[in-house]
Amino acid sequence: MAAPSARSWSWLAPLAIGVTLLKCLLIPAYHSTDFEVHRNWLAITHSLPVSQWYYEATSEWTLDYPPFFAWFEYLFSLVAQYFDKEMLIVQNLNYASNATILFQRLSVILTDIVFIYGVTECCKCVNRTKESKEIMERPAFILAVLLLLNFGLLIVDHIHFQYNGFLFGLMLLSVARMFQGRHLESALLFAVLLNFKHIFLYVAPAYGIYLLRSYCFTENKLGSAASGACTTFPLQARSLSCILGPKFLGSVQCGGQSTVCHCLFAVEDRKDAGIYLILVTTGHLSLFPLLFTGPEMPIKFCLMLLFTVYSFSALRALFRKEGPLLNWPESIYLSGLVPLQVMCEIIYPLTSWQQRFPFVPLLLISVYCSLGVTYSWIKLYISVLRELGPDRKMKAQ
């Protein structure tokens, strides 16, 4: 199939700009201790020789990320000095001037360019057999919105404060290169990603198996790599989502790596779309306790509501000819999230139990959401094990 024209992607730039402007509006919002973590790392890498970076312990938030991230902080510190030099003094613990907040917020927004590029490349790999005349019903458009407006990334990176968008951008670029049959580029990007954040080691088994199967143990014929990527990667990538399941159960980072990975297949298959809706809804709701301050309360509710409504409506429209995405027990379970949240956020804080048992709301949310995440993970495993061979393709455009 011919590659899409530049005009057919005219919606991407306005979408990316709109998301970026939304992130700018979140600059004054609450930030967590992760803000101080990264300020301290800026100070360490700027003020000390390389030999002392991993030994400096003035702050409890010592530098514990791989070397590429340390150099990433160092490069940003060269710019940070023009905003406020005081943030680069190691002894200035918990320093958070307005200039420091502005710089660190802008650094996250700037590095999200990598995420936008990774999303763009993955969208170009989407199966175009479901192409619609309406832009908003095209799989590539839906995928772009689901990734760029991901609720978890917005609140964790741009309120709570982290650089997950940048890291996920590298991962999505690596995945896109697999789709395109550019295996060595994919492997290089993943190696770079591991040197930025070691937690992505969870993904290594899926990458290793796929590269052995589709690059190392294949005949060296022209075009075999590209065809192999289109026909074998979907199964391996869903296996990648399965591998990420245990990691997601133990962390509330970005709504989970498996959420981002499985989003790629939510626009390809009705069953995958159903799994994605359960996973993303419960996963994102489990992030609510991260934002416990009053001013951020309406922000998290509105962003979560908008993203969830769009996810359900867009995917239902995409697969409306193939039947419902969820069965009735799944629908009842997801409906239960509403009274659960009302109980934990509104009713329980007004009771006398709040003072004696303040952990109960977090416990209820964690347990209830873990059921949905675990169910999605098991359902995804069953789907992978039952699939004897790939039955759909995501073609490089």
pLDDT the model gives residue 255: 43
**pTM for the model:** 0.86
Domain assignment present for 274: yes
Domain assignment present for 159: yes
The per-residue pLDDT for range 183-239, each reduced to its tens digit, is 899 999 999 999 999 888 877 887 888 888 878 877 554 344 444 444 444 565 555
Nearest to 249 by CA among 150, 369, 363: 369
Domain assignment present for 338: yes
Structure letter (DSSP) for residue 64 = -
pLDDT the model gives residue 71: 97
pLDDT the model gives residue 121: 93
Q: Which two tokens stand for residue 228?
A: 């192999």
Provide the sign of the torsion angle of the four alpha carbons 136, 317, 397, 218, taken in this order.
Answer: positive
Domain assignment present for 339: yes
pLDDT the model gives residue 59: 92
Provide the sign of the torsion angle of the four alpha carbons 34, 243, 114, 73, taken in this order.
Answer: positive
The per-residue pLDDT for range 89-119, each reduced to its tens digit, is 999 999 999 999 999 999 999 999 999 999 9
Classify 161 in phi/psi space as left (phi over 0), alpha (psi -120 to 50) or beta. left
pLDDT the model gives residue 150: 92
Domain assignment present for 73: no
CB atoms inside a 10 Å sphere around CB 194: 18
pLDDT the model gives residue 235: 64
Domain assignment present for 346: yes
- The count of structural domains within the chain is 1
Domain assignment present for 63: no
Domain assignment present for 313: yes
pLDDT the model gives residue 273: 92
Q: Could you list the residue range(s) of the whole structural domain that residue 162 is in?
A: 112-386
pLDDT the model gives residue 4: 54
Average pLDDT by consecutive 10-residue portion of the chain (397 residues)? 58 93 95 95 96 94 95 97 95 94 97 95 79 79 94 92 94 90 91 92 81 75 41 51 44 52 84 91 88 87 94 93 91 94 89 89 90 87 67 44
Q: Are 194 and 200 in contact (CB under 8 A)?
A: yes
pLDDT the model gives residue 222: 39
